[in-house]
Amino acid sequence: MKLYYAPGACSLAPHIIAREAGLDVRLEKVEFGADGRWAGGRDYWQINPKGAVPALELDDGEVLTENAVILQYLASLAPQAGLGPPAQGMAHWRFLELLNFIATELHKGFAPLFKQPTPGLRDSTVEALAQRFDLLVRQLADRAYLTGERFTIADAYAYVILNWTRLHQLDLTPWPSLRAFMDRVETRPAVQQARREEGLDAPAQQREGPRPQAQPARPDG
């Protein structure tokens, strides 16, 4: 399989999950430039008409898109890793509820900040994100990860999106449990491997406060 990604974009989440699950996934970097979007010399729009990362090219040539779906697909390939939702019952639906919240509320909530917003729009966006941070804190409670003591695709996704607070210099001091959650996730070998493979700064260099880091120009995916 081939994962189309941009360094530090939301595609970092399936990259992490592929490494956690020990799946044979090859990386293909997407270049976003004034003359278009390119991956391995190919017009990326021809690979994924949505133009966004991530996209996952399967062994048979089919291309799967949408981050939350790709994450579930990868988790299904390695059920022994326990990275996906519970197989059945209300816990299954609660997990999907959380994953959808991360995708539609947390992830897309950052979108205005990538478009050079006016001060007023930035303030309202940050205020809305703060409310979502509050909800994420309630979900996390006193657990190590969002659904308990087991790391899942929801944690990978949330971690990557929360990382954007560093890029946009949003202070997470009012949410110490979220900062601790990010630190905890960053200690995982698969996360460190994925970060190295994308050329991101070492996590240890970013412990003190919100600092900008290498990230994509926009939150595609």
pLDDT digits (tens, 9 = 90+) for 96-110: 999 999 999 999 999
Q: Both 109 and 141 in a single domain?
A: yes
Domain stop point among 81, 107, 138: 81
Q: pLDDT-based confidence at 201, cuts 50/70/90? A: confident
Cβ proximity of 166 and 179 under 8 Å: no
Percent helix, percent strand, percent coil in the chain, to nearest 5: 50, 10, 35
Alpha helices per DSSP H over the chain: 12-21, 44-47, 67-77, 90-101, 108-109, 119-140, 153-162, 164-167, 176-186, 189-197
The CATH number of residue 28's host domain is: 3.40.30.10
Domain count of the fold of the chain = 2
For 153-175, the pLDDT digits (tens) are: 999 999 999 999 999 999 999 99
**Statement: residue 211 has pLDDT above 70:** no
Average pLDDT over residues 66-72: 98
Domain stop point among 63, 81, 99: 81
167 lies in a domain?
yes
Range of the domain at 25: 2-81
Q: pLDDT-based confidence at 205, cuts 50/70/90? A: very low
Q: Both 51 and 99 in a single domain?
A: no
137 lies in a domain?
yes
Is this model's pTM higher than 0.85 or not?
yes
57 lies in a domain?
yes
For 13-23, the pLDDT digits (tens) are: 999 999 999 99
